[in-house]
Chain A
């Protein structure tokens, strides 16, 4: 049973390496300008090459995602592997999440009070702070921080393992690197992200409370009661958790993929790390728009 699983995993690994090798080798430098061709054809060829290259990369990323899911048995059975990664990407991110959550909440308190005061409804400050944090800022900002703090580290680690041929060494020893190295990091990110986002929101609301109630002097009773009357558990909080969960999957997926796909050189690893931060930040924002459109439309 275990043997057949291992051989299957090895086969899928082999297939991955084949698909990684074949189309890439043909010309990552772009097509050469043939003397008989017109400039227009040349431009079109270049465009087509760019498009197919990106599509191929997307397809490979999807293929890789499925491979990670299929090979996550080890990460979940030997959970100690995942716990170690949760320590690195989750526990060590607590400080940055706490501090930035506090400051974002305090700024929201100040700015929100300034605007609400003009309409004489400064008691709604609690609602404003809580809704903007729980629905949007918590998942999104925590996601951006997580992508640059933990995602970049995951990419750099896996990329460097590839550059120093540790990944190849594992394959030599018939250890599946996707199961042993990639999947634990992926699941650690997926588990950590919702917790960090909740922590960010809670801390932000505390920051808003500090500034609004303690510093400016909004009535504490109406601050909390209006918040509780407006914020709905399923509609607001649960949707925020779903958002952060989706962002966790996106960030971890992009981070492990970029690391695994990095060119095994110092420059390649640095480029892959940059790409992780850029791509995951952009996809967080895009996914946030799509999720928001589905969750909060016309309610």
Chain B
């Protein structure tokens, strides 16, 4: 039988390796810093169409992730989508910030982009972003293009 000190050493090594890999997962893979710096404030925005936006989608400004989408629901009276976001406390945005739904790449995830305005007053916790632009729905774009094309061709044929 192994003596006690050696046994303790090996078990200590095992636990250290295990905790080390957990730390690696948390910091290097999971990027814990954002989740734990959890000081956030809440903003809302209304969109006619959110396309494929999902809860936990990113909120970006100038390409930098500044927050996450926390909740999406339909306003039962106006029939518009209400998106609730948690934005990092370190970042403040002017009141006339423009919220758009963008797609990263052709088939990528959809995220909310903030185009910053020039207002001196900043958005506070619980505020609603007034100016929004809906997601671009690819099918609508294509069908619009097709109709335009067809209409154009018809005009040519008449001439």
Contacts and interface: CB of A to CB of B under 8 A. Distances in A.
Interface in A155-211: 192, 194-196, 198-199, 201-203, 205
Interface of A: 80, 83-84, 86-87, 90-91, 94, 119, 121, 130, 134, 192, 194-196, 198-199, 201-203, 205, 224, 227-229, 231-237, 241, 299
Contacts of A227: 29
A237 B13 contact: no
A195 B15 contact: yes
A231 B18 contact: no
B58 interface: yes
Contact of B107 (A94, A119, A229): A119
B7 A233 contact: no
A201 B24 CA distance: 10
B11 A83 contact: yes
Interface of B: 2, 4, 7-8, 10-11, 13-15, 17-19, 21-22, 24-26, 28-32, 35-36, 54-56, 58, 65, 105, 107-108
Given A83-B11, A134-B29, A195 B65 contact: no
A205 B17 CA distance: 15
Given A83-B7, A121-B105, A195-B19, A299 B56 contact: yes
Nearest to B54: A299
A203 B36 CA distance: 25
Contacts of B55: 299
Contact of B26 (A84, A91, A233): A233
B18 A196 contact: yes
B28 A224 contact: yes
Contacts of B21: 195, 198-199, 201-203
Contacts of A236: 30
A229 B14 contact: no
Contacts of B14: 86-87, 90-91, 94, 192, 195
A228 B11 contact: no
A91 B7 CA distance: 10
A198 B29 contact: no
Given A83-B8, A87-B11, A229-B65, A198 B25 contact: yes
B25 A201 contact: yes
A232 B19 CA distance: 18
